[in-house]
A and B are shown apart, each in its own frame.
Chain A
Amino acid sequence: MRSYDDELKQTIDLVGKGQIDQALTQHESNNTGGDFDLLYYLEKGELLRLNSQYNDSASAWLLADQKVNEWENEAKIRAGAILENVGTVVLNDKTRRYDGHDYEKVMLSTRLALDHVLTGDWNAARTEIKKTHEREAIIAEINAKDTEALEQESKEKGISTTFKDLNGYPVETLNSAEVTTLKNGYQSAFSHYLAGFVYEALNEQGLASPGYRQAIELRPDIKILEDGLSTLETRPGLRKSSETDVLFVVESGTAPTLNSITIPVPVIVSNLGVIPISFPVLHSDTSHTLQPSTVGIDGKNTLPLAAITSLDTLSKRALRDDMPGIIVRGILRAAAKTLSQKALMDQGGGVALAGIALNIANVITESADERTWRMLPATISIARMTLPSGKHDIAIGSSKQSIDIQGSHAIVVTRLLGNQTYWSQPAYGPQMPVYAAPAMIQPLKKVDGSAINTPAKKSKKKKVKKPVHQAQG
C-alpha cells in the first residue's frame, strides 16, 4: 500500500538539498494515472513556488482550490452528518477522499494570495484573501454542526473515550499549552496579518483594520502585530512617495508528519472487548532547519523576526479537535469489522475462510490516515520596515540576496529548508494607492490657454520584473 509519508520524505530531502527540479520529477512519478487528488496539487503548488514559477504554482493551487470548493459545497449540505454510514464502512479513514485538514484549506487561500502578490497582481491577492474569510466562516459553521452531531452520537452509543484515555498515545503532543491556548485549528495570525497588509496596500483601511485586529486576537502580545493596528491610521502620512513599506515573510522547515499508532481500545459497542485501533500521531519536522531570528538590511539594520504562526502547533490543535471524531469512527468501524468477521467465522467451511481473509484485509488496511500537506512550513515569521524604494541587500541566516523593492508596498518571501534558502524577488508593488503625492498636480500658472509649463510626469513603467530565485547553500 502507498506510503504517503515515505514519498514526501524523499521529495523534501531533495528540496533541502536545493534539487527542486528533481523534487518536482519525483512528485510526478509518485502520482500517476491522471486523476490527481487535492494533496497532489497542494504539494505541487508549493514546489513550483519554491522554483519561482509563481504563475504555475497559482495554477496548481487553483486546481486544489476547485477541490476545496467541491468539499465546501458538499459539506454545507452534509454538515452534522460526520458519522454518516460509518458503521458499515470496513476500510479506515485513509481510504476516504482526502478533503484536506481545515488549516490546509485556509493556508491554500493564503498561499495563493502570496503567489499573486509575488507576480504583482494585488487585486487577485485580495480575492484570495476575501475567500480566506469566507472559508473560515464555512469551516466554523460545519465544525459546530459536526461537533454537536458527534456529541449526540457518542452519547447514544455510550462512547466516552478521549485521546487522553488512549494508553500509549503521546498525549503531550496534543496537550501542550501552545496547542490548547490556540483559538482553533484553522485560523492563523499570519493569514490575517497578510490580509491587513494587502488591504492596506490597496487603500482599504476599513478592511485592513480587522485583519490586524484578528491577528492580535489569535496571537496576543506580539509587538509587530500590535503595531500593525495601532499605527494603521498614521502610516500612510509618514511614508514618503519614494519609500516602500516592506513585509518580510520568512518561512522555515516543514509541517509535521502524520504517522500511525495502534492502541488496544475497549469497545463497549456490542460488548466486543478490547480491539486494536489505529490513531494518527504528529511528529514535528526533523529537517533541522534554522529558524532565523533577524533580517539584516544593507549590512546596517537588523530587524527582529517575530514567529507569528506555527503550522506545527496549528496542525496539532487541528488533530486535537479532530480526535473525538477519529476515536468514534475508529470504534464504530472496529465494531463493524469484528461483527462481520465473527458472522462469517460462525458459519464455518468456505465462509470461514472468507472470514479469515477479511481478518487479513483488516490488518492490512487498519492504519491511521497519514496524509497531510507536508511541504507547508513549520513556522512563519515576519518583520516589517519602510525602506527607500530600490535595491537592498537582505540577509537571512547565512544567506544574502539583493532584492529590488518598488511600489508603495512589497512582500519579500523567503523559505528555509534543510541547508537551503529560497528567495523571492517581488514584482513591483502597487503604486501609491492613496492620493498623497500632491507634487503630481501642477496647478496652472496661466489659465489663458497658452503654454502649460507643467513638467512631464516621470515615467512609471509598471513592468513586472522576472522573479529571481536563488537557492544557496
Chain B
Amino acid sequence: MYKTNNVFKATAVALLLSGCATQSPTLSSGNVEYGDSKAVESLTNEFGSTDLQTIAESMASSLLQSPALFAKSRPLVTVAEVKNRTSEYIDTKSITDSIRTKIIKSGMVRFAVDTSAMQTQVDELSRQNQTGLYKKSKSKKMGNMEGADFRIEGTITSIVKRADDVKDVYYKFSLQLVDIESGTMEWADEKEIRKTSNKSMF
C-alpha cells in the first residue's frame, strides 16, 4: 500500500509538472515524424503531392475569376472526368476533388453530385422511398434533383524524355468549363509543370 501511494503521488506530481492535463498524450517510437503537408516534395520526378497542390491552386483561382461562372447567382456545377493521358497512375479524381473543395469554399458556386457519386445518391433515394422504412412525409422525394448549369472536364498529358543522365518530364493539365445547356465552352485554362532529374532518380 505504501508503495502504491508513493507511485500515485509521484505520478500526480509528474503530471502537474509536465502540464499533461492540457496536452494529448503522445505515443512515439522516435522513428516517425509528421511533416508539413504543403512542403515541396521532390523525392522523385513522378507526379507528386506538390504537383497536385500546384494544379489545384492554380485552376481554382483561375476558375473563380471566370465571368461566365458568375453570370447567374450561385450556379450549379458538376465535375466530369479528367482524362489521364499519361502512363503514370495519377489519381485525377483527387485533383478535381481538391479543385472542387477550393471553389466550394468560396461560397459562390454549388456542386451537383458527379457521376462517380451518382450511384450512392440513387441508392439513398431508393432506400428512403422504396424500402418502406421511412415516413413518407420525412423522406426526400425522387424527381427533385437539380441539373447542373456547368460541367468541368479536362485532361492531363505528359511528355517524358530521357537523354544520357537526364530525365525530363513535362505535364500539362487542361481544364475547361462547359455550359451544359448550350454546349459552349465558357472558360479554359492550363497548368504546365516541368521536372528534370539526373540518372540516380530513374
Contact = CB atoms under 8 A, between A and B. Distances in A.
Interface stretch (A26-34, A86-94, A204-212): A204-212
Interface size class of B (residues with CB under 8 A): 20 to 34
A432 interface: yes
Interface stretch (A63-71, A276-284, A339-347, A447-455): A447-455
Interface stretch (B17-25, B87-95, B103-111, B186-194): B87-95
B171 to A, nearest CB: 13
Contacts of A141: 44, 201-202
Contact of B122 (A233, A440, A452): A440
B87 A457 contact: no
B202 A144 contact: yes
Interface stretch (B6-14, B55-63, B113-121): B113-121
Contacts of B84: 205-207, 209-210
B73 interface: no
A213 B87 contact: yes
Contacts of A434: 115, 119
A385 interface: no
Contacts of A452: 129, 136
Contact of A209 (B83, B116, B118): B83
Nearest to B88: A210
A441 B124 CA distance: 11
A210 B118 CA distance: 24
Contacts of A140: 202
Given A148-B200, A209-B85, A454 B92 contact: no
Given A211-B89, A434-B115, A457 B130 contact: yes
Interface in A423-442: 432-435, 440-442
B91 A207 contact: yes
Contacts of B90: 206-207, 210
Interface in A126-173: 130, 133, 137, 140-141, 144-145, 148
Contact of A206 (B82, B118, B201): B82
Contacts of B46: 137
A447 B200 contact: no
A354 interface: no
B82 A443 contact: no
A206 B88 CA distance: 10
Nearest to A140: B202
A195 interface: yes
A442 B129 CA distance: 10
A203 interface: yes
B201 A457 contact: no
A130 B89 contact: yes
A217 interface: yes
A139 to B, nearest CB: 12
A210 to B, nearest CB: 5
A145 B200 contact: yes
Of the listed residues B84, B141, B201, the one surrounded by the most CB atoms of chain A closer than 10 A to its CB is B84
A457 B127 CA distance: 9
Dominant secondary structure at the B interface: mixed
B83 A144 contact: no
A357 interface: no
Contacts of B82: 206
Contact of B125 (A144, A195, A441): A441
B197 to A, nearest CB: 10
B93 A443 contact: no
Of the listed residues A141, A206, A207, A441, the one surrounded by the most CB atoms of chain B closer than 10 A to its CB is A206
A456 interface: yes
B87 A210 contact: yes
A309 interface: no
Nearest to A441: B122
Of the listed residues B87, B90, B93, B122, the one surrounded by the most CB atoms of chain A closer than 10 A to its CB is B87
Given A148-B199, A443-B142, A447-B143, A435 B87 contact: no
A381 interface: no
A269 interface: no
Given A144-B202, A452-B136, A210 B86 contact: yes
Given A204-B93, A209-B84, A217-B87, A444 B125 contact: no
Interface of A: 130, 133, 137, 140-141, 144-145, 148, 195, 203-207, 209-211, 213-214, 217, 233, 432-435, 440-444, 447, 449, 452, 454, 456-457
20 contacts: A133-B89, A137-B44, A141-B201, A141-B202, A145-B200, A195-B89, A203-B116, A206-B81, A206-B83, A210-B84, A211-B89, A213-B86, A434-B115, A440-B126, A444-B142, A444-B143, A449-B136, A452-B129, A454-B142, A456-B130
10 closest A-B pairs (Cβ-Cβ)?
Answer: A435-B118, A206-B92, A443-B143, A206-B84, A209-B84, A444-B143, A133-B89, A213-B87, A435-B119, A210-B89
Interface of B: 44, 46, 81-93, 115-116, 118-119, 122, 125-126, 129-130, 136-137, 141-143, 199-202
